[in-house]
Amino acid sequence: MKVRSDILRTYQTLHTWTGICAGLVLFIGFYAGSLTMFKPAIEAWATPPTHQLTQIEPQRYDALIQQAYAYSDKAKRSLTVNFEQDQSPITWYEQGGSRGINLGNTLTHATLDKNDQLQLQTTPRSELGTLIDQLHRTAGIAGKLGDEDLGVQILGIAAALYFIAIVSGVIFLLPTLVKTLFALRTNKGASRFWLDSHNLVGVLSLPFHFIIAWSVVIFAFHHPLYDGLQAIYGDKPLFAEDPAESNKQIYNIEQLPSIDTYREKVAELAPGYQLKSIEFSRLTSDAPTAALEVVTDNQLMRGGFSDFIYIHAFTMDIAYTSIMPPGENSYNTIVKSFFALHFGNYAGNTGRWIYFLLGLMGAFLFYTGNLLWLEKRRQKSPQQTRSSKFMAALTVAVCLGSIAGVAITLFANKWLYIMGTSINHGYLWCYYLVFFATIIYSFSRGAAIAAIHLQQLISFACAGIVMTTVVTALVPQWHIWSTFDTSTLIVDFVAVVFAIIFYVAAQKTKHRALNGEENSVWYIGKTPVAQPALNLAESK
């Protein structure tokens, strides 16, 4: 396809600069997003199995709930009934709550023993999954901008740049697209190989990238966009008033309907869905709510891992439901599909693995994009430009540093429990210490050396995750980890795979640094002297 040369040049420039500006934060958003596909598995893996109490028979939930309410006022404020086998039958927050991020979250787990006596255990809640999710949404950028997370807003802007980068990338690829899409030329130098793989991955996962870019912009800026819509709606309210608010009656907790009643309600409202949990809130107030979390493996779901139905806990009047029968409200179906396409929740675990790979491929796209930027600016002399060295060091530090931070945090998890420290604070310390240390290291030693060492570090940390699982299972003093749920072994399996990948990658990087192209920021060669990325004397 022929495209005018000035158009090509315009979009090439656009693609380069939007990519280089947004690529690094998007890299973190994408690879951490891949991990959040398995957030429940990561949280289950990170929590000692002894924290979960034994499940009970379905008909005993009602007795347990009433005993818990009689025992604790905190339970009356909010209590969750879990129906999954590997979880405690009920839990409530002793400290903190389920909204937002709360590092001091403490859960009380409760169950009934054989004689219907209440059994309790209070433990800090591992927020590892939530923190990885937060890393995914903010790229680790802390702070607030008004009521919004600063990191979310920055990723929103990055996603808009990324949308421009997608469109411009496709446009300036058009003339050569058909001829070279599946050409993966390994014999024409590193630069050509990176370019071919960058184009191949980019074009083949285009629909995924399109929906991700669009949805991230919406997630970040939905408040101002709704404010703008209000001007169009005029006197019409954007959202209907909650009908349940007219009922101000206060009910007695003993009148709470049985769990079976809620199950029947779910069967009626969401046929084909499984009830996963119920969260009862504010039961003693005039707005008692039951949030029913329901799941299915073959439908588009509104939440990351489930659909939600909010009902009045006593009258069962619906306050909100994300499930509407098909055909009844096509707008609900359309909007829900946007969320589900971002969350990748519509095809069970198979779909999650596909999204996991798509996310990693996205991260690969941003990483190779930066490498291509560097290749284009390569000077034909051993001395490379300051901007190239800076960008190379920054790319290596941010991408590999963030992965190393997460890997070491996962490695530290079990040891943090054994040492008895505050786990959630420990996670944050681990991540940010590693992340900032890698930035300092990368800029002081230069990108070439940092790339090798950081990949080795990631490989060792991943190997350490698995070894920790093995060692803690064997040593009797560390008994909190001695039994484990085999379903969480998938986390260790992925760690093994990554340990191998990063080990091989580190070897290859080292080989290139020593034997590759000499006129490159990646060359170390015969003079293994550190080349600082920022050396002010050099720039003169």
CB atoms within 10 A of CB 443: 19
- Nearest distance from C-beta of residue 231 to another protein, angstroms: 8
Identify which of 21, 42, 19, 49 has the alpha carbon closest to the alpha carbon of residue 136.
Answer: 42
- Nearer of residues 14 and 506 to another protein, judged by Cβ: 14
Q: How far is CA 183 from CA 169, 186, 198, 366, in A?
A: 17, 9, 11, 20
Q: Which two tokens stand for residue 442?
A: 């990368």
CA 479, CA 472: separation in Å to the nearest integer?
A: 7
Min CB(18)–another protein separation in Å: 9
Task: Report the nearest approach of another protein to the CB of residue 140 (Å).
Answer: 25
In whole angstroms, how close is the CB of 223 to another protein at the nearest point? 10
Cβ neighbours, 10 Å, residue 498: 18
Contact 64, 280 (CB under 8 A): no
Least CB distance to another protein at residue 322 (A):
10
DSSP 476: G
DSSP three-state, residue 100 = coil
Minimum CB–partner distance for residue 373 and another protein (Å): 18
**In the complex, least distance from residue 222 CB atom to another protein, rounded to whole angstroms:** 6
Q: Which residue bears the tokens 């994009």?
A: 369
Whose Cβ is closer to another protein: residue 4's or residue 540's?
4
Q: Which is nearer to another protein, 334 or 537 (CB)?
A: 334
Nearer to another protein among residue 281 and residue 322 (C-beta): 322
Asked if 398 and 367 touch (Cβ cutoff 8 Å), the reply is no
- According to DSSP H, which parts of 105-252 are helical? 128-138, 150-180, 190-204, 206-233
Cβ distance 471 to 418 under 8 Å? Answer: no
Indicate the residue among 18 and 88 with the shorter CB distance to another protein. Answer: 18
Query: How many Å is the Cα radius of gyration of the chain?
Result: 26
Buried b (16+ CB within 10 A) or exposed e, 42-62: bbbbbbbeebbbebbeeeebb
- Cα–Cα–Cα angle for 333, 337, 343, nearest 5°? 145
Helix H or strand E segment including 118: strand 118-124
Q: How far is the CB of 321 from another protein (least distance, A)?
A: 11
For residue 321, the cross-strand partners are: 309
To the nearest whole angstrom, how small is the minimum distance from the Cβ of residue 73 to another protein? 37
Give the position of tokens 């697209």.
Answer: 177
Provide the token pair at 151: 């990191």
Using the minimum distance from each CB to another protein, give the nearer residue, 245 or 518.
245
Q: Which is nearer to another protein, 236 or 248 (CB)?
A: 236
Residue closer to another protein (CB basis): 88 or 345: 345
Nearer to another protein, 126 or 168 (CB): 168
Footprint on this chain of another protein (rule: CB under 8 A): 2, 4-7, 10-11, 13-14, 160, 163-164, 167-168, 171, 213-214, 217-218, 221-222, 225-226, 228-229, 231-233, 236, 238-240, 329, 331-332, 334-335, 338
